[in-house]
Amino acid sequence: MPELPEAETIVRGLRPVVTGARIRRTRVQHEDVLESSAAGLARALKGLAIQDVSRRGKNVVLVMEGPAYLVVNLGMTGGLYPLAAGGRNPAVTHPAVRFYFEEGGQLVYNDARRFGRLRLLNGPDWEAWSRRLGPEPLSPAFTPDDLAAGLGASRTPVRNWLLDQRRVAGVGNIYASEALHRAGIDPRRPASSIGPEATRRLYRSVVAVLSEAIRARGTTIRDYRDATGDEGGFGPRLRAYGRDGEPCLTCGTPIRRVVFGNRSAFLCPTCQPHEESTGGSGA
């Protein structure tokens, strides 16, 4: 599933291409990706211009006139591709929604498995929806002290805590695995058992791995492509996720895959001991 770096990469690719474009009509080819009716979405968007493209957590957000906010959750296989008349365009194999522009060209939401969702929100609904998400981990609102307080109040496994979008917005299984490996923390440990030193390491690791993945244009495991149809470049830099059986790049111990909470996690048993010998108790 695309996470924060993949969504941010798509946003940066779309913003210079579609900002200012005005929607002439909307064609819904698969209504099951919509929160509303196809006819209702088409009526609401007709004639509106895209004022900006932004991101909230794992979601791409088209900021429309009004204001209105078209929130696109990419699910597992979703992508947004701008298509120009003529020239090189990315391959669109499973189009679900097409937005045709008055100026020519279109923006296509493509989704093979159709687990993604599009929802159109007005201003107050957008604010209410956004408040339900946690802070952006690359923003000043995400601080080491806030992370320590949040971890200290929960007994849930720390990996699951990081995946909870109400705690911190945008981190998924790939980057939780990577950040925990870098921080030397077993993903199964209760969040409240993470001491102050380990919490500081985790904070730095989350920020670092997300920032590096954005610079590499995200991680392609299977389906993810950026707005031009290209794969992300961070895959070869993964240290834990998907590397079960391969040697840890730090110590050489084989990476292990463990399943809990119905999700796989990847860890080095040597670098990520289940119990920490130093660092004290959580906040």
CB within 8 Å of 86: residues ≥ 6 apart: none
- Pick the catalytic residue from 3, 6, 8, 178: 3
Residue 35 DSSP symbol: S
Task: Specify the residue for token string 């670098």.
Answer: 271
46 is catalytic: no
Estimate to the nearest angstrom the gap between the alpha carbon of 259 and the chain centroid.
21
Radius of gyration of the chain (CA): 20
CB within 8 Å of 39: residues ≥ 6 apart: none
58 is catalytic: yes
CA–CA distance, 198 with 214 (Å, rounded to integer): 24
| β-bridge pairing 59-64 and 263-267 | unpaired
Q: Using alpha carbons only, give the angle 261, 263, 268 rounded to the nearest 5 degrees.
A: 105
- Pick the catalytic residue from 6, 55, 56, 58: 58
256 is catalytic: no
Secondary-structure breakdown of the chain: helix, strand, coil percentages, each rounded to the nearest 5: 30, 25, 45
Nearest to 161 by CA among 151, 148, 149, 175: 151
- Pick the catalytic residue from 263, 269, 273, 276: 263
For residue 140, give the 3-state DSSP assignment: coil
119 is catalytic: no
User: With contact defined as beta carbons under 8 Å apart, do 228 and 90 qualify?
Assistant: yes
**What are the catalytic residues?**
2-3, 58, 263
